[in-house]
Structures are given as structure tokens and as C-alpha cells.
Amino acid sequence: TAVWDAHSDDEKFPAAGGDYENPVEDAPGAVSIADADNLNYMLTLPVEDAGKIDGAASLSHMMNANTFTCGAFHVTSKDDVETVASDLRDAIQSKQWMCGFPDKLVIFTYDQYVVSLYGDEELVNTFRDKFTATYSDSAIAYDEAIL
């Protein structure tokens, strides 16, 4: 929410957060972690990593998730943060895209959080820059084109 709030009105796009049970308009929202398949479908979190998190949130472009999707995950053990980040990267890079092809992927680690975003390069870069300004002690684990 802090990163989305740092966007100016001109930088914001039609967005929605949350999940199908608890949708949020124009803001990020909590995502239930009870259904590993849904986490994989909505945010590309590998099913095998669902047991490594105890909270999640999302923000996506309202018209096409491939234009912008962001998932934030609280990892229960600090020892699993790098694994979850790497697994997310691999899952996003190997995804079979439909309805548009995203340009770019960025994954952050911050304390026990992993935040992934992918989509239109301009939207991803703006969010990346707002994220690093908001959380200056975060680390960019991956910042790359989607192949």
C-alpha cells in the first residue's frame, strides 16, 4: 500500500487487489493463502512454496494481469526467502502466457518478504523505483526481461 500510495495520479493505472473472495478496487489487497493452486494461478507462486508463507497480497492491472501483476509474500522462515524468490523467478520465466506477453520481471527481498512484479516495462520500472525509494534497505534479487 505504501508503494502504491507513492504513485502520483498520473502514474497510477486501473488496478485491483486482493483475491476473488475479497477484491479491493484501486488498491492492493490481502490474498488468502489457503488455496495453493489459486496462489499459483493469480500470482505464479509455485504450489510447493505455498507452505513457506503465512501471508500474501496482490495488486494487478484491472484489464489485463499480464500488463501488471504484483504479489507480496511474507515468508515464515528467513532461511526460505532466497528459495521463494528463486522459485518465483523460475515460475514466472517459464510461464506460458496468454492474452499478452509481459516485458519485464522484478523480484525484491525485504526482511522476510518476497515481492514479485511483472508486466509492461514502464509500469514495472515505476513500481520498482517507488519500492526502492519506500523500502531503501530492500534488495533487488532479479530485474530482467521476460524471455
The gap from C-alpha 40 to its chain's centroid, in whole angstroms, comes to 12
pLDDT tens string for the chain (147 positions)?
Answer: 999 999 999 999 999 999 989 999 999 999 999 999 999 999 999 999 999 999 999 999 999 999 999 999 999 999 999 999 999 999 999 998 887 899 999 999 999 999 999 999 999 999 999 999 999 999 999 999 998
Q: Which residue's C-alpha cell is 514495472?
A: 124
C-alpha gyration radius of the chain: 14
Note every long-range contact of 31-34, with CB atoms under 8 Å and residues 24 or more positions apart, other chains counting.
Answer: 31/56, 31/57, 31/58, 31/71, 32/56
The domain tally of the chain equals 1
The residue range of the domain holding 61 is: 2-145
